[in-house]
Amino acid sequence: MGEGNEKNILEKAIRRHGTGLAMQVSCVSIVINVVLSAFKVGAGILSHSGAMISDGIHSASDVFSTLIVMAGITMASRKSDREHPYGHERMECVAALLLSAVLFATGIAIGVSAVETIGSGPEKGGVIPGTLALGAAVISIVVKEWMFWYTRAAARKLKSGALMADAWHHRSDALSSVGALIGILGARMGMPVMDPLASFIICIFIVKAALDVFRDSMDKMVDKACDDETVRSIEQAVLDTRGVERVGSMKTRLFGSRIYVDLEIEADKSLMLEQAFGIAKEVHDTIEERFPQVKHCSVQVSPEGSTGLEGKEN
């Protein structure tokens, strides 16, 4: 009972730390996006740049995506209850799926607008954007690229698909600002077609990022196995445990940002039941200590040479 309580306390502490870091990153994103979007829209109006105004509106949409992330992570961090005995980690995947849809829609909208602009032919006059719009585009690229790396670092640390999706949303905004910069430069140099061409190329990158986020989230929703490197690392940790003769079978599955492991190990058949139980417990504790992302590890002990017999009978 004591060890179980200690494990629950540790899990709660880890959950609180992860949620706190995610909320901190999300709050920083919201504040920066509000300030940046207001700055870009204002710069676009003052310098007569439609591209910069559109880019500012795009930055404002990031506030909505970050709110989705915060809601998803908050729900995912809730402890198990009677109706959800395995926890709520998959709610983070739902948030990531929603963000992938937002990313995809953003990319398609940029692409359609670019095609329509190219198809409409040369622009008819218009006011040449001022240098303020150029400065705003450069500042936006630097800030949004920093936000991408900042958010991605936290996402990797927390194994958070929702935060990773939000990071790619920041990258899409940086790419949008690159398009705006190229378009403004093109307009000032007498080549307005550069704007829609750059936007079309950007839409391809955004759509690809959306599909990557969608695929990763779906893998975690449908209990996909862990990557080969993680499986090999877990297996090696098991084999390093004293008393384990062989790993008979091992199954892993992703559950949101966490991992479930089902193991069948072989031990000396002359061991007493209490000794075999001790080996299984040591394997269980070793896996959960060395791999913090493992939420649950189930270990079954079989006499050496007995695993795989079921398959031979069929």
CATH number at residue 277: 3.30.70.1350
- State residue 149's pLDDT score: 94
Which residues pair with residue 265 across a beta bridge?
247, 301
Alpha carbon distance 153, 240 (integer Å): 31
pLDDT computed for residue 143 by the predictor: 92
Per-residue model confidence as pLDDT tens digits over 277-313: 888 899 998 888 888 888 888 888 888 766 554 444 4
**Residues 72, 212 within the same domain:** yes
| 246-255: strand order across its sheet | 246-255, 258-267, 294-303
Q: How many CA atoms lie within 13 A of 161 on its CB side?
A: 31
Q: Which residues pair with 301 in a beta bridge?
A: 265
Structural domain for 20, as ranges: 1-220
Q: In angstroms, rounded to a whole number, what is the distance separating the alpha carbons of residues 211 and 76?
A: 22
CB 276 within 8 A of CB 241: no
H or E stretch at 97: helix 90-119
φ, ψ (nearest 5 deg) of residue 259 = -130, 140
How far is it, in rounded angstroms, from Cα 13 to Cα 175?
37
Q: Which of 220, 245, 273 marks a domain boundary? A: 220
Residue 2 lies in a domain: yes
Whether residues 174 and 92 fall in one domain? yes
Residue 245 and residue 174 in one domain: no
Q: In this predicted model, which residue has the larger pLDDT, 244 or 59?
A: 244
The number of beta carbons lying within 10 Å of the beta carbon of residue 292 is 14
CA dihedral 127, 129, 130, 136 (to 10 degrees): 150
Two structure tokens written together for 108: 């398609």
**222 vs 262, which has greater pLDDT?**
262
Mean pLDDT of 195-204: 72
Last residue of a domain, one of 187, 220, 253: 220
Specify the number of domains making up the chain: 2
**Three-class SS of residue 51?**
helix
- 258 and 214 in one domain? no
d(CA 279, CA 256) in angstroms, rounded, equals 29
Tens of pLDDT, residue by residue over 138-161, are 998 999 899 999 999 888 887 777
Neighbours of 26 (CB within 10 A): 24
Whole-number pLDDT of residue 148: 92
The last residue of a domain, from among 201, 220, 239: 220
Residue 50 located in a structural domain:
yes
Distance of CA 191 to the CA centre of its chain: 38
pLDDT at 86: 65
Domain assignment of residue 85, yes or no: yes
Q: What is the 8-class DSSP label of residue 1?
A: -
Q: Evaluate whether residue 211 is within a structural domain.
A: yes
CA dist., res. 212 & res. 309, Å (int): 40
| Same domain, yes or no: 177 and 268 | no
Q: Write the single-letter amino acid at 58.
A: H
**SS3 state of residue 250:** strand
Give, in degrees to the nearest 5, the angle at Cα 286 between 280 and 288. Answer: 105
CATH classification of the domain holding 151? 1.20.1510
> Token pair 């607008």 is at which residue?
113
Residue 125 shares a structural domain with residue 255: no
In this structure, the answer to whether residues 157 and 259 fall within a common structural domain is: no
* Judgement on whether residues 29 and 133 belong to the same structural domain of the protein: yes
Q: Tell me: pLDDT of 14 over 60.
A: no
Residue 311 lies in a domain: no
Based on the fold, state whether residues 171 and 109 are members of the same structural domain: yes
Model-level pTM?
Answer: 0.59
